[in-house]
Amino acid sequence: GQNIDQPTEMTATEGAIVQINCTYQTSGFNGLFWYQQHAGEAPTFLSYNVLDGLEEKGRFSSFLSRSKGYSYLLLKELQMKDSASYLCAVRDTGGSYIPTFGRGTSLIVHP
Amino acid sequence: ETGVTQTPRHLVMGMTNKKSLKCEQHLGHNAMYWYKQSAKKPLELMFVYNFKEQTENNSVPSRFSPECPNSSHLFLHLHTLQPEDSALYLCASSHRDNEQFFGPGTRLTVL
């Protein structure tokens, strides 16, 4: 299995940049997902990393370092609507292709 | 709209009741999942179906009984639940090992 750690809560200001970290321990890494979940809504897919480096998608970017067991989600030009929970999920090579989710980071964006 | 629908959105039931949760996906995916989401805890995988066959049962108590009549529909039958089963129950689907698409969930309260 995996041990996934991410901060419980973060706050940031509208227009700023915020970085949400995720560290993991796994016997065989096979991909990392980031999802966004607004209160009372479904989690929605944001990004997938399986190789080291930065993946950019508009205002959101995700970074992976497999050697360090570390990923981050970078949100630029924060908007109020970015207030949500951000879930990190890690998949290993242990046979099941299904990722294990972390507890999620609740991001509060204030004016 | 993620292409995954769930009904009902809210459910209150007594410990002796029997109820069912329904999930439907319109995405042509071959895999469907049930997750339990409780406050302050990671998403917990309950059941997985691939091409209508159950491939994972994550040590879920028998008071939860899944049913997958075809690749587009998934049910979770509930009976003699406990108050600690109160949570958000999320359904998801995916095409093989790609990202998962989640439904909005059923908020379940067991009295």
Q: Which of A87, A91, A103 sits opposite B40 (nearest CB)?
A: A103
Question: Per-residue confidence at A92, pLDDT binned at 50, 70, 90?
Answer: confident
Structure-block tokens of residue A51: 């190789």
For A9-36, the pLDDT digits (tens) are 999 999 999 999 999 998 889 999 999 9
Of B40, B41, B102, the CB nearest to A43: B102
- Tell me which chain B residue has its CA closest to the CA of residue A38: B104
Q: B45 vs A98: CB contact, 8 Å cut-off?
A: yes
DSSP B22-82: EEEE-S--SEEEEEEE-TTS--EEEEEEETTEEEEE-S--TTEEEEEEETTEEEEEEES--
pLDDT band at A70 (very low <50, low <70, confident <90, very high): very high
- Express as a percent the part of chain B with pLDDT over 70: 100
Question: Do residues B101 and B3 make contact, with C-beta atoms less than 8 angstroms apart?
Answer: yes
Beta bridge partners of B10: B107
Mean pLDDT across chain A: 94
Mutant choice from B102, B106, B107 vs A, greatest count of A C-beta within 10 A = B102
pLDDT in tens, B51-103: 878 887 778 999 999 999 999 999 999 999 999 999 999 999 999 888 999 99
Tell me if the bond preceding B8 is cis, omega within 30° of 0.
yes
* Cα B51 to Cα B80: distance, rounded to the nearest angstrom: 29
Pairing label, strands B106-110, B10-13: parallel
- Cα B48 from Cα B97, distance rounded (Å): 12
Calculate mean pLDDT across residues B12-30.
94
